[in-house]
Amino acid sequence: MAVDNTILSARAVMRDAPVIPVIVLHDVAHAVPMARALVAGGIRMLEVTLRTPQALACIEAIARAVPEAVVGAGTVRSAEDAAAAANAGARFAVSPGYTQAVGEACRANGLPLLPGVATASEIMAAQADGFDALKFFPALQSGGSAMLKAWAGPFGDVLFCPTGGIQPGNAAEFLALANVACVGGSWLVPADALAQGDWARITTLARQASQLKNG
């Protein structure tokens, strides 16, 4: 079932499933079958990173052909990225860090934004601009679950999506935290599965991820 744009928010994106897949696509032909495979496994919030020349075309293909998916743009680093993502049909944005320019551009283009933060000062800067659903990145390198526990006191009103180093073996550790809504992970869409067109494997990985439990 498609999600109504009018009710989509950053928190709605984060609470839809335990994992948001972080997707790197090099071939537009992979975009639609991959998206369908993820949706079949119960994962519909799809972050296609703007790390390849084909990324925007992949977002456009998914937005057009897979209405059950909610495709977003990751690695949004500028106002230009935000505008291009929205024009391609992205319905949310994820950034590795936060700047006011990116925040303003996402609002102007109607994109709920999950801004990346790694320090208390960055959380405060994002909150000052009205963002309280944040991506903790890179999660493992920035203190992992211990850092999120420490932030629960001063930032009890903030919800996080830790991303960076999250795997099936440690996802539950993060999802058990009260201030974590979901995690971001690249393991749902392995490069070899894409290369081989192994959509059944991607569906299986998505189904397993969709069954992870929040604390």
What is the set of active-site residues?
47, 135
Are 173 and 197 contacting, i.e. CB atoms less than 8 angstroms apart?
A: no
Neighbours of 38 (CB within 10 A): 31
| Closest C-alpha to 82, from 60, 100, 107, 58 | 107
- Burial class for 51, CB neighbours closer than 10 Å (0-12, 13-18, 19+): middle
What ranges in the chain are assigned the alpha helix state H? Answer: 10-15, 28-40, 55-65, 79-88, 100-108, 120-128, 144-151, 168-175, 191-196, 199-210
**Structure tokens belonging to residue 164:** 């960076």
Residue 136, amino acid: F
